[in-house]
Chains A and B, each alone.
Chain A
Amino acid sequence: MTRAERIAACFLAIVAGPAAWLSDLFRSSRHFRLAVSLAVLALFLIPSSVSAQSDCLACHADKTMQDSSGHSISVDGDKFSASIHGSLQCNNCHADIKEYPHPDHIAKVDCKTCHADEGQKLSTSVHSSSKEHPCTSCHGSAHEIYPKTDSRSAVYPLNIPRTCGQCHSDGAMATKKGLPSVYPHYMDSIHGNALSKEGLLVAANCQSCHGSHGILSSKDPRSHTFKANIPKTCGTCHAKINDDYQGGSHGHGIAKGDLKAPVCTDCHTAHAILQPTESAFRMQSTPICGSCHKDKLSTYHDTFHSQLGLLGGYVETARCWDCHGAHEIYPASDPRSPIHPANLVVTCGKCHKGANKSFVQYQPHANAHDRRLNPALYFIRLFMNLLLISVLTFFVIHTVLWLIRSRFDQVRRNSGNGGDHA
């Protein structure tokens, strides 16, 4: 379509459109005076001013229409009128277009004009430097924005992960900025599964934890994902677990400002959250506790629980939280703790049917290398090691000498006989 044709088409739309409407009005004498006055008004105003969608769509409905840099500037009128902004006129947003023909280069639409709050939050967020249009990156095509409760919306709960994943996945924008690829982890997680497989609208999606317009870096103490704020963030849904956690040792640590204490994400991870009964989670959980409780991990490694557990498959063997509790962890001296001496028979009895007072004297973190703490075990291990070393040392020497001597003897005997193998 040439420029001349386009102008002709616009003129036709602007003049012929209202003319047809006016001719309808003429049929009703009641509206005659109004029609005449409107016609006069139209003749004065319409050729130089544009406001109605249809005016703009006369040109922009053309699907092949592009600007000088090759971007599509066509608008699907049907979709636009069905969108949340469908009742608006084009120049409500494209405010710098006052008349036709309009300049080749028009200003970027500023959504803040109406959405001031969101704009304010966005300008202080991690996304403030986005070179792309910050609103449409998430909300989708500017002329096809739907309310977030509409399943066509890019920010409908079930669509949010895909929307954020456009940047936050392998090889996309976030990777280029040195951020981890979180989308695939999320999709395989318990939240991602609930959302994508079950279509559960209440399943946590990206913005449930990170917020939407005012997303802050997790290093910012005001961020939902700042370490100390994470229990509260997860607690938005997992209220009971948050209460348990806040009552336990780890929760107390965080409340006191000790950021070394673990929060939800330290054990469950942030994006790749697994069902805790899953074997993969049971396999990965122990080293996580052990990353702080190093001495406990090493003594646990010496026990049958760990030896069994490390082989995979047999995941029922006791992991840290089977005995210590998971969220409401108390010190062993606290009567509420499952490892308080009074509770051990019950705690051990969960797996070991028939556990009695003597049975629970078993030390799940015994250290056979510590003479002071576990003298009996220390000396038993020492005796067994000495036995092993002395028996093997003696017999290795004995066998080697024997081998050499009998080979020597055999060769001499054979050559003395005239050599059987000569």
Chain B
Amino acid sequence: MPELAQAVAPEVKTEAPASERFFVRFTRQQRYMHAVLFTTFLGLAGTGLPLRFSDSIWARGMAGAVGGFGAILFFHKFCAIALTVAFLIHVKEIVTRGIYRREKGIFWGATSMVANWKDAKDLFAHMRWFLGLGPKPQFERYAYWEKFDYWAVFWGMIVIGFSGYAMWFAPFFARFLPGWALNAALVIHSEEGLLAILFIFSIHFVNTHLRPDSFPMDMVIFTGVESEKEFEHKRPQEYARMAREGKLEARLGQAPAAWFVRFARIVGFTAIFIGVTLLILTLTAYFD
């Protein structure tokens, strides 16, 4: 009954055929969290790089573009606070769901972010598949590289955040840290920041968005839903488990509105463009 389906929801213009089913992968809160994360990360990278490579030709220009050094430091600290708040909300969420409500699958199991034996096996199987030595592994809800992305950011935020606050409030931190720790803070902050920038703007961009399966951009982090075809192709084991447990229907979501997909594309491509620009600047300064 295609006519009926169109009559029911005429205001929702979708790009996909009406018969296609969409499944929820990320909640609204998780998508907002990613939005805060990538906006503040771009802000931190854009204001941190001119500092890290302050003797490069573009550093002074970039600092000048946002209103001189005072402004760049202000934006850096502003983004840092916003990201810290997002991080604390995330930690509170884990504690509430995993410890307080004793929800299953937070710290262990198929849906957990914690690495398990299957991830190690998947990594090797995946590599074998790259070389044509074996079948493609069947991924669960979070594949090993996605877990790595998550923990890299988790560890990065603790390390960069702590060393950053140690420098920001140096006299306070010096009450319980030795003086040389302040020297170490800058080394750690800038090296870990550089790693994060290089990793996100090259590896994460390609693995998640630019690889042929998702090219040019995986919209699921913006819309929260993906088509049944995509779900089944990318994470067959999760799809099979959901079907087996009869939970597929509960995960059904609405097809994203066309305007929202377009909006998300613009935002996403802007982020990727800024990221790649910063990556190029970093590489030119690093190999200068």
Hey, which bits of chain A sit against chain B, CB under 8 A?
301-304, 306-308, 310-314, 352-356, 358-363, 366, 368, 374, 376-377, 380-381, 384-385, 387-388, 391-392, 395-396, 398-399, 401-407, 409-410
Contacts and interface: CB of A to CB of B under 8 A. Distances in A.
B52 A381 contact: no
B68 interface: yes
Please list the 5 inter-chain residue pairs (A to B) with the smallest Cβ-Cβ separation, ordered nearest first. A361-B179, A314-B69, A313-B68, A359-B174, A384-B191
Contacts of B227: none
Contacts of A381: 187, 191
A358 B179 contact: yes
B230 interface: no
Contacts of B199: 391-392, 395
Contacts of B42: none
A120 B204 CA distance: 82
A306 B213 contact: no
B170 interface: yes
A310 B59 contact: yes
Given A301-B55, A353-B171, A362 B69 contact: no
Given A304-B167, A391-B199, A395-B199, A402 B178 contact: no
A301 B203 CA distance: 30
Given A312-B69, A380-B188, A366 B183 contact: yes
Contacts of A308: 51, 54, 69, 73
B192 interface: yes
B172 interface: yes
Nearest to A361: B179
- Which of A301, A384, A396, A409 is the most central at the interface, judged by chain B CB atoms within 10 Å of its CB? A384
24 contacts: A303-B186, A307-B52, A307-B54, A311-B68, A312-B64, A313-B64, A314-B73, A355-B171, A358-B174, A358-B175, A363-B180, A366-B180, A368-B187, A376-B180, A380-B187, A381-B191, A384-B195, A388-B191, A388-B195, A396-B202, A399-B202, A405-B131, A406-B211, A406-B212
B180 A377 contact: yes
B127 to A, nearest CB: 7
A177 to B, nearest CB: 37
Interface of B: 50-52, 54-55, 59-60, 63-64, 68-70, 72-73, 126-127, 129-132, 136, 145, 152, 167, 170-172, 174-175, 177-180, 182-184, 186-188, 191-192, 194-195, 198-199, 202-203, 206-207, 211-213
A354 B180 contact: no
B188 A384 contact: yes
Given A312-B68, A352-B170, A380-B184, A388 B179 contact: no
A310 B62 CA distance: 12
Nearest to A392: B198
Contacts of B68: 311-314
A5 B229 CA distance: 118
Nearest to A380: B184
A410 to B, nearest CB: 5
Contacts of A405: 129-132
Contact of B171 (A310, A354, A387, A410): A354
A310 B60 contact: yes
B174 A392 contact: no
Contacts of A352: 170-171
Nearest to B177: A358
B74 to A, nearest CB: 11
Nearest to B123: A398
Nearest to A365: B183
A313 B59 CA distance: 12
A401 B187 contact: no
A39 B175 CA distance: 106
Contacts of A363: 179-180, 183
Contacts of A358: 174-175, 177-179
A360 B191 contact: no
Contacts of A391: 152, 195, 199
A369 to B, nearest CB: 11
A403 B192 contact: no
Nearest to A376: B180
B142 to A, nearest CB: 17
A359 B170 contact: yes
Contact of B60 (A306, A311, A401): A311
Given A374-B183, A384-B188, A405-B130, 18 more contacts: A301-B55, A311-B51, A311-B69, A312-B69, A314-B68, A359-B170, A366-B183, A377-B187, A380-B184, A380-B187, A385-B191, A387-B191, A391-B195, A396-B203, A398-B127, A398-B145, A399-B211, A401-B127
A360 B179 contact: yes
Contacts of B174: 355-356, 358-359, 361-362
Contacts of A396: 202-203
B213 A359 contact: no
A259 B186 CA distance: 38
Contacts of B127: 398, 401
A254 B70 CA distance: 40
Contact of A388 (B126, B180, B198, B212): B198
Given A306-B54, A354-B172, A388-B198, A410 B213 contact: yes
B50 A407 contact: no
A387 B64 CA distance: 33
Contacts of B198: 388, 392
